[in-house]
Chains A and B, each alone.
Chain A
Amino acid sequence: MTDIETKTRIARQFIEALPHSRALGMKLVDIGDGWAVMALDWRADLVGDPETEVVHGGVVTALLDTCGGSSVMSHPTAPRGTATIDLRIDYMRAAEPRRRIFARAECYRITRSVAFVRGLAWTASPDDPVAAAAGAFSVEGVER
């Protein structure tokens, strides 16, 4: 097994074991140095507007938050822990009902105490995003 396969497997087990991520059915699709791709399937109990059957914005927030935290944890500086300081989500459009939602987050800058993250959520293509995220995460134990 290659290093990247081992890293992906460990990250998947860790993320998918978090109680809230499990409850929402989040899956880690892929992970690399300072980035992560996750997915979440539509479910009737996650709907925010019964008229349209569109999932609640909070579900997309939870997915992008988890994906953002995963991108920080996968950064080559190997932080020991992370927590969200702030997270902004811009909603471009509703996610169509019964479609899998994907999210990709990237930790594009990291200091001794803060990681800066941006992310995108989509259904069919990242060129047609559902939401965009920008966040700051606290980090501990960054290797310098």
Chain B
Amino acid sequence: MQVVKQRRDAALGRLVGGIPYVGFLGVGFERRGDELTAVLPYDERLIGNPMLPALHGGAIGAFLEIAAIVELSWTVVWEAMEGGGEAADAIEAGRFPPMPKTIDFTVDYLRSGLPRDAYARARVNRMGRRYASVHVEAWQDNRARLFAQATGHFLMPNVDA
């Protein structure tokens, strides 16, 4: 059954590895079954306020948006892999469905981002044929003490077109 795990990890690796900006920020993803945790390793380049120091609001917002869009894409990819047939073969061959497009994204900055690693988990609250609504929570030291959260709406790719 490790073959299944390898196939899923490879698909996630290709999905995430294909996005240059994810590499620029240094964001990684850890997977437990279908659950993803986005990890933003601390880097001096992420600092917005050198006096405190604190992470840049833009870097935090971008991290949450990446977590949301990858979660949503992964949900689509996962369903395609599980469904088998042509869609699963396409994923296996490295052909992914087009990325969802962000319609709007609202970030709630709850605490200043400390100069250390950050984590985020996204939840797809609704995924229809055209739109999806995704919520993201981010924390640093303590899972229960969020330092940022966000909600975004996304336009789903038209797979029929």
Contact = CB atoms under 8 A, between A and B. Distances in A.
The finding on whether chains A and B are genuine partners in a shared complex, rather than unrelated, reads yes
B99 to A, nearest CB: 5
Given A18-B48, A58-B61, A83-B109, A47 B21 contact: yes
Interface string A15-56: 001111111100000000000000000001111111100011
A91 interface: yes
Contact of A55 (B21, B44, B54, B69): B21
Contact of B58 (A22, A44, A51, A58): A58
A17 B55 CA distance: 14
A63 B59 CA distance: 10
A56 B98 CA distance: 14
Given A62-B59, A86-B108, A18 B99 contact: no
Interface in A76-92: 83-91
Contact of B19 (A49, A61, A63, A94): A49
Contacts of B49: 18, 83
Interface of A: 17-24, 44-51, 55-59, 61-66, 69, 83-91, 94
Contacts of B56: 18-21, 62, 65-66
Contacts, number: 133
B10 interface: no
Given A18-B48, A65-B57, A45 B108 contact: no
Interface in B21-62: 21-25, 44-50, 54-59, 61-62
Given A21-B48, A50-B18, A61 B62 contact: yes
Chain B interface size, as a band, is 35 or more
Contact of A91 (B20, B98, B102): B102
B19 A84 contact: no
B46 A88 contact: no
A59 B102 CA distance: 13
Given A19-B48, A19-B50, A56 B103 contact: no
B66 A56 contact: yes
A91 B44 contact: no
Given A21-B56, A50-B20, A55-B21, A87 B50 contact: no
Contacts of A48: 19-21, 69, 99
Given A45-B24, A48-B19, A91-B103, A58 B65 contact: yes
A57 B22 CA distance: 11
B21 A89 contact: no
Contacts of B112: 83
Contacts of A56: 19, 21-22, 62, 65-66
Given A58-B66, A61-B61, A65-B57, A86 B109 contact: yes
B99 A86 contact: no
Contacts of A51: 98-99
